[in-house]
Structures are given as C-alpha cells and as structure tokens.
Structure 1
Amino acid sequence: MTYQVVLDRTMMGNIFNTRYSESVELLSISLIIFIVMFGLIPALLLTQIKVKQLDRVRVLANALIAFIVSFSFLYANSTSWLWIDKHASILGGKILPWSYIINSTRHHSSINRSTEGQKVLPDGVFTSNNKMVFVLVIGETARSDNFSLYGYSKLTNPKLQQQSNLLVLNNTKSCTTYTTGSLACMLAPSNQHLGYEALPTYLTRQGVDVQWRTNNWGEPPIEVSSYVKAGELRSKCSGNGCNLDEVLLTNLTATIESSDKEKVFVVLHTKGSHGPSYYTRYTKEFNQFIPVCRDEEVSKCSSEELINAYDNTILYTDHFLSTLINKLEKIKNTSAAMMYISDHGESLGEHGLYLHGTPYSFAPDYQKNIPFFIWLSDQYLDENIFNVSNIRQAPNHSQFNVFHTVLGAFGFESPVYESAMDVLHKPED
C-alpha cells in the first residue's frame, strides 16, 4: 500500500534476505495502526467464530456446488483468459494470500547456498606477471540519472569529475531490479553461465588473491581468499564514516601491499543509497542538498525533500570513491584499476513508485539505469600503452561487461573471455 510493492518470487526473496538493520527502517506509526486494524482485530473476530462439524456428504455437496459455480463463471468469462495468461506473473504478485505463500515456496525451492554443484569455468593463463590490483566497487540503489557525471543538473560528483583517467560508460542497464539477481549477473560471463562458479571463485581457483569486503549482502555462493564483514573492520577504523561504507577502506592499502600474489582482486560491496532512510547513508558534512526527507514513509515527504536526501547519498558515494582512488594511487610499483557499478536503480516517487524490486517487465527505467565507470592508474595506462580518451564505447552496456573487463585487465586468457564484452579491449588496427 505504501511502496506499491508486487510480491512476486523475486520480491519474496528480497524479503527473506532482509536483515534486522534494514527492516527496522520500515517501521512507522501508520504501519502499527495498519497491523492492528487489518491484522489483530480481524484475527480476534475469527477466534469468536464457532466451528460446527458437518457430515462428509454435505461437505462434498458444497464442494461440488462451488466447483460448478466457479467453472460456470470462468466459462462465461472465457474471453478474458488470454489477458489473464499474459498478465499471470503480475497477478500472481498481487493476489493475496497466493502471492506471499506460493512465491515464498518458489523462492525457497530455488535457493542454493553452497558452491557445491556449481559448474566449473574453463581454466586460463595470465599473459603478464606484472603486479596488478583491480578493485570492484558494487554500488547499491544508485541510479545514473542522479549522477552529474551523466549530466544531472546538481553537482553530485564534484570530486570524480576532477579525476583524470576516468572512463564513464553510457547506457548501462541492470539485469534485474533487486540485489541478489544483479550480483549474480555482474559476477557471471553471460546469462547462460548463471549456474557456474562466480567471478571471485573463478579467480581464486586461478591463483588470484581475492578479497571480499562487505557492508551489504546478497552475493551468490563464493569461495575467496578473504571474506570480511564491515563489523569486523570497525574496531580498527577511525573517523565519522566508520558506521558507513568508508569502513570498507580500513587498512585496505596495507592489505593489498602485503599480498604475496601478483594479481589482487578486491570487491567492496557497499550499502550505498539504500532506502528508505536515505538520510542515514551519509555523514553530516554531505548534507548539502536541503531540505531532506527524514521519514521512512517517503511518500509523506515532498518530492524535493526525497530527491535531496537521495542526492546527498550520491555525493557521499563520490567522496568514498575519490578516497579509494587516492589510496590506490599511493600503492607503489603496482598497476591499479577501480570499477564502480550499481546493482540497480531506484524509484523516487515517479509514477507513484518508490524504492526498487518492481518486476523487470514493467519496472521504470529509473530502476534499471545504473552508473558504470572505471578509473585506471598511470602505471596501468603506461604498461598497456593505453589512452582513456581513445576508447570507443559500445552503444550500450550491461552488468555482464564486468566479468570480461576484469579478466582483460588482468591479462587473463580463457575460453570464456569475450573481448567484445571487455570495455577496455583495444581492437586490432
């Protein structure tokens, strides 16, 4: 009722993947009133009903009558069957209690929490022994429409716009509108490989030092060299951003420099711009666009307040990524690259929709259009005889570009690698 959520299978997956820290942001007085009026009071009324046992003949007779009436109704409305069939997936997420009961069952039947049974991707070889670190930053709920890098009227990327060697990729769409599905895409080479081992597992098996740091959740089953949650880093963190995504940068430079591997792959899974409590996703110095929405029921806020709060999260992301780039620039004798891509976008009241997770077939572009850009160190450009300004972009990009671009940057030749999907690939003259 509040966020216009459709309870299909993927949305039920989002609900079961929600953690306490995220769910409490949705609590409100109106929700409590709603539960009392439409939950507790009807439940109390039901307890007052006295159930009388009927004989089996009467039960069967009632069932037969109900069947005949239902069949007659469906037959009389047979002209609508094609419409129902066409919109079955949407109706299945709207009809209660079918939606959450059946789609919960469908979700749990599809869960695989182990890497056992995952198909193995073909082995490959590295063409270079140069020290190389690639940092993949997975954004959360960031839509490209609100990045000044993509022409947004507000200056939400003041620091990134000053960075040299930054390649901003246009026309990128997420493959889903929810985290778990999008992460599966960006860690796979194609739709046909979603049942295979994910990119971090693949690189770990090929001898790469893979470090996964997360302030979020929703990744597919993976096996990596090191998996660290934000809570494990806070004791060594200092500053106002330790309760936010900046905690992921704690001792990052030292961790990379201490690795005994020539190839280091770091994934930073951020909390980014996750709603509805946008105002909690940045420190006070980034509260630049005001007034802001401070109500979890975002529909109660004005459009200006809601968008301001969201834009401040993008401003903080700009700071986070610029800080990361500065750290990578200081690593000596190492070629470095940083890629940022969001899992999906966000609705901020357009068409009456809020948040994300709307079924992809009719989700607005705001939930699909995502930022995608890459920063490359001077050493990387020198070693690869490369010039960012000379890169010819494809007409559009997807989250599957991530897999092939990472392999290409590491100089990893594999049967699964496709140069056409590598945004940094230099075509032969």
Structure 2
Amino acid sequence: MKSSILNNGLISPKSFLFLIISLLPVILLNSFNYSGWENYLEVASILFLFCCIFFFFQFIFLNEQKSILALLILLFPTLFFEFFNVLILNQYLSHDNIKSVYYTNWNETIGFFKDYVKYAVIPLFLLLTLLLILFLRINKTPNKPKRKVTLGLISLVFGVISFSIPLIKNLNSYIGLSDKNILAYTLREDFFKKPPLNFYFRLNELRSYLNNYGKYLKLRETFQFKPVIQVNEQPDIIVLVIGEAMRYKNWTVNGYERLTSPNLLDQNNLISFHKHFSNANQTSNSIPTLLTRASPKNFEKAFQEKSIISLFKEAGYQTYWISNQFIFFLENEDEPDSLIANLEIPEITDLATLEPFEAILNADDENKIFIVINLIGNHGIPPLPYKNHFKPNTSAKKIIDYSESKEELINDYDNKILFQDYILGKLIKELEKKEKNALLMFTSDHGIRLFDDEDSSIFGYGSDRPNLNELHIPLFIWYSENFKKNNIEKLHNLKKNQNKGSDNLTIFFTLSALSGIGFDNFLDHKNLASNNYVELDSFPVFFKKRYEYFQIP
C-alpha cells in the first residue's frame, strides 16, 4: 500500500510521513477504553476513519500544504483537550467537560494547567513534530490528471471500512435488538463521539445547549418557590429514590409471576401505582421532567426554575443527593446542601448508597431531611448471589450472542430487579429504625423492552419511536407508622388514585403535598394525594425533538 501510493504519485513522502506521525495520538487516545478484541476493532475503525479524512483533504485541496494544514487544525484540539481528559479522567471529552471549560474563569484555567502541566508533554511533542513536518521541504507530488478521482475513491474505501467495523459490532450487540436507528447510532456513538471528531461534536452540543437553554440559567439563579408550609404536616424524613431502566411489569408487587420483589411484598405500608408513565424513554429527557415542573410541552421550565431539591431547601429541609451515576442534566450538582457522588468507583453497585444513607440518618437528628438517591440500576451488575438467582443468565459469558440469548437476558434483568428490591428493603429498614415520621418514594427514569409479545425481537430502550414498555414505570410510596397517624386522608386519596393514569409531573406535586408544602400555582389536580386528582388518559412523550401524546391503556 505504501509503495503503491508513493510510487504512483498520489501523495508525497512528506504527506505520508505526516499521516504516520498523526496516527500515533489517535492510537494512544483510543487504546484505553476496552480490552481484548474490542480494543483492536475500536482502534482499527478510528485509524481507517483518520485515513479517510486524510485522503479526503488531499482530494479536496489537491495541495500538499493546504491538506496537511487542514488535518493539523482538525487534530490540534484533539491533541490537547482529549489527551488531558484521557490521561486525567480516563474518558473521552464529554459535553460536561466542554461546558466546564466554557464557564470557568481565567484564574481557574491557569491553576488547572499548573497542576497538570506534565500531561502536556506528549501532545506538545507530537504537535511540534507535526509542525516540523509541515515546513519540511520535500519534492511536491505531481498533479496527475486522474489523481483527484483516485484520492476520492481511496477516501471512500477507507470510510466504508471504518464505518462497517462498528456497524457490524453494533448489529451483533444488544443495540441491534433495540429498535434504534442503527446507522444514526453508529455514526453518533462510534464516530462523532470519538477522536478526532469528538471535540467538534461536543462544541456543537454546547452551541445547541446555549441556544436552547443558556438564556434561562440566569433566571434560575434568582428563582424562588416561596413555599407555604403546614408545619404540623411535615415529615421528618423524605426520600426520593430514582431507579435506572426499571419497568413496571417485572416486579412481583405489580403482579409479575416471578418472586423479584420479596422485600416490598412484605411491606404493609406500601402503595404501588399501576398506571404511572415516564415522559421519555431516555434518561437525559426524563430526569428534568421528574425533578422539576417541566414537561415535554414546556421543557424550558426545567432550566428556568429550580428543582424539587430547592423547594425542600426553602421549606427548611436539609437536602442531600446520593448519586451512583451521572444524571445532572440540569446543571444542578450544587443544588443540594450535600452531594455524595459515587462516580469514580470501579464496577460500582447500588450497595454504595447504603452506607452514606445510614450515615446521614444517624448524623442529622436535629433537621428535617430530604434525600435524593439515584441508583445505577439496570446499568450495573448485581453482586452475588443476586446476579445468579434466576438462571440461565449471561454472568459467566465473555461474549454474548444477543439474538440467541433472550431467556438469559430476561433472567439478567429480573436479577437486577431482585437486587433493586433488596436495596429498597434496606433503605426502608433504616427508616424504620429511626421511628420517625418518614416517607420514601421510588420511581424510575424510564422502562425497557424485553422481547415483549408485540415486539418479540426487541430488547433495550431509547428507541426512535418510544414504546409503552419503555415508558411504563413503577411508582412506589412507602410510609412509616408515624406518617400514617398524621396523614390518614392523604393516604386514603393515594390508595383511591393508585389505579389512575399519571406521569412524571405528578411526582413534584404529590411529593410536596405529602410533605405539607404548598406554593403559588400549585396544581392540586396533579397531586395523587388529593381528592381533586384528575386521571390522565394520555400523556406527552418526547419524540424526535418534539412531543406526542400517548394513550394510557
């Protein structure tokens, strides 16, 4: 390949040398994320992509200096931003990394580089080497008549090979069963979100974010709920637990034939709502509508107003957030009084939430407490014995043939539900020990499709066309004996409304009402604890950057 390209005068030795050197950072940046054969496929795909871009620039400019300079401009931010991110955080540049850089001040930037200047050695060395090659004087490539067509074809071939590698990989993974647009998914996740294109993709995300929501953030800084508090109705402890991809159907407490929720079945003071739905089939859209008064119809409100955490702060509660995965889509990591983020624990399980939860309950006896816990749920692997309870499963498999593993994948999921039930049981036991006026609410960001009858070949969530199995989620409310004594009418209404349709917006109004908190424009017809609750027969769902109404069966 080398001798053919050089001997035929397609590119000069100088361009070829530049290509070889510039591939080094691409290899380094893409060698940390996987192990085994996946690592080699990942690197090979990106190398072919880079060669595609290289020959594309040669095809466009037919000028050695211009094409090399264009490649250097493309590579420059990758050399620095991606290198820092990979070496320090062990991850590719993310949307939040770019936002952090955008919002930081000059002094913070200088302080950062002083602390991490040693990491600049490799990218600086590579940059200087590439600049040296750029200014080398080597004989130019002759401008042969058919050269442009040949360069275009070579670029196309490299592009097709580069795209085919992750496409085949995705088709043979759970993504191939998820009803997502596999071509768009591959392009976004395996090209735009990887070096050398990732930096520009993240810049575009930042531009879109600032255009859509940046103008609202100033409003949110000064926003206040100005709650009206009924002191004698305020519980001592309120806990909101958010699961990950937990669907309604697979809990025994909701009628599932398997024993997946033995701990919740043993709870007398538990109410399950049978027609509760998420407004989105992916986390980034569902969490803002779960924590705020926003809905798909007025999503900007999630950024204009503060979340339910601030409502409880204004009402006199000490607020905590225990996080097992990154769901801070509202840029609100600073909103709680205390954030316990278990984001850097390798192979984390939801057991990591129990110790800080117990510590909060034991350390803060004087204040009223509001705690948000977001679990890793379906994204995590349960510890033994939970991951092997339902068999056969995929826990011992290194390579999974998703199209032939339906039974194992369903068993995997039920094992995760069983473990989630254990976590909820432990949280409830800790609350019972305190013998206080306490309340716990559990729901999920979205559900999942599990080879259901109407789509028996589909597994996963986040599909381009949302499905009710991705949207039908559990909503459980547990209450202590002391809460029961003080809230007989509210509990009566909750039980009366448990078979009525509801969506994420009811979380905000129901939880605040159960805590004796009111505010201007309180929508009592969205409050499940009210006699005035109005049942939903349909609900808005995010659909292709818009929303559509889905009927509740």
- Tell me what 1:357 maps to: 462
Amino acid in structure 2 at the alignment position of 1:418: L
- Residues 106-137 of structure 1 deviation map (CA, whole Å, 9 limit, x = unaligned): 53221669964426243112112455211000
- Tell me what 2:84 maps to: none
Give 1:202's match in structure 2, choosing from 281, 293, 311.
311
Residues 221-230 or 342-351, more deviating: 342-351
**Runs of 5+ unmatched residues, structure 1:** 1-22, 55-61, 63-88, 235-241
1:409 Cα deviation (Å)? 1.4
Aligned to 1:373, the other structure's residue is in SS state: strand
CA distance in 2, matches of 1:47, 1:256: 59
Aligned to 1:146, the other structure's residue is in SS state: coil
- Tell me what 2:209 maps to: 110
Give 2:47's match in structure 1, choosing from 36, 40, 45.
40
- Tell me what 2:258 maps to: 154
Q: Which has the higher relative contact order, 1 or 2, with Cα contacts under 8 A spaced 6 or more apart?
A: 1
For the 8 Å contact 1:122–1:416, the answer to whether it is kept is no
- Tell me what 2:337 maps to: 225
CA distance in 1, matches of 2:205, 2:528: 34
Aligned to 1:159, the other structure's residue is in SS state: helix
- Tell me what 1:256 maps to: 361
For the 8 Å contact 2:235–2:439, the answer to whether it is kept is no
CA distance in 2, matches of 1:353, 1:413: 43
Amino acid in structure 1 at the alignment position of 2:391: I
CA distance in 1, matches of 2:378, 2:356: 24
- Tell me what 2:419 maps to: 316
- Tell me what 1:336 maps to: 438
CA distance in 2, matches of 1:259, 1:53: 69
- Residues 304-353 of structure 1 deviation map (CA, whole Å, 9 limit, x = unaligned): 01111111000000111011111111113x21111000001123456444
Amino acid in structure 1 at the alignment position of 2:508: F
Amino acid in structure 2 at the alignment position of 1:110: Y
Aligned to 1:250, the other structure's residue is in SS state: helix
Change over 3 Å in CA distance of 1:126–1:35 after alignment to 2: same
For the 8 Å contact 2:324–2:353, the answer to whether it is kept is yes
CA distance in 1, matches of 2:308, 2:442: 16
Amino acid in structure 1 at the alignment position of 2:448: E
Matches within 5 A, 1:363-402: 363-386=466-489, 387=491, 390-393=495-498, 395-402=500-507
Give 2:410's match in structure 1, choosing from 307, 311, 324.
307
CA distance in 2, matches of 1:379, 1:243: 34
CA distance in 1, matches of 2:486, 2:205: 47
Residues 217-226 or 116-125, more deviating: 116-125
For the 8 Å contact 2:227–2:311, the answer to whether it is kept is no
Query: Kindly, what percent of the aligned residue pairs are identical?
Result: 23
Change over 3 Å in CA distance of 1:307–1:92 after alignment to 2: closer
Matched, 1:140 2:244: yes
User: How many residue pairs were aligned?
Assistant: 356
Change over 3 Å in CA distance of 1:328–1:95 after alignment to 2: closer
Change over 3 Å in CA distance of 1:282–1:177 after alignment to 2: farther
TM-score (norm 1): 0.72
CA distance in 1, matches of 2:308, 2:42: 44
Aligned to 1:145, the other structure's residue is in SS state: coil
Matched, 1:168 2:298: no
CA distance in 2, matches of 1:252, 1:95: 39
1:300 Cα deviation (Å)? 5.2
CA distance in 1, matches of 2:349, 2:187: 37
CA distance in 2, matches of 1:95, 1:300: 19
Aligned to 1:326, the other structure's residue is in SS state: helix
- Tell me what 1:268 maps to: 373
1:53 Cα deviation (Å)? 4.8
CA RMSD of superposed structures (Å): 3.6
Aligned to 2:284, the other structure's residue is in SS state: helix
- Residues 343-388 of structure 1 deviation map (CA, whole Å, 9 limit, x = unaligned): 01123456444432223xx122222111111111111010112455
1:199 Cα deviation (Å)? 1.0
- Tell me what 2:323 maps to: 214
Change over 3 Å in CA distance of 1:257–1:103 after alignment to 2: same
Change over 3 Å in CA distance of 1:200–1:28 after alignment to 2: farther
Change over 3 Å in CA distance of 1:34–1:339 after alignment to 2: same
TM-score (norm 2): 0.57
Q: Which has the larger radius of gyration?
A: 2
More helix by share: 2
CA distance in 1, matches of 2:241, 2:394: 27
1:39 Cα deviation (Å)? 4.4
Residues 384-393 or 242-251, more deviating: 384-393
CA distance in 2, matches of 1:285, 1:92: 35
Give 1:326's match in structure 2, choosing from 407, 429, 434.
429
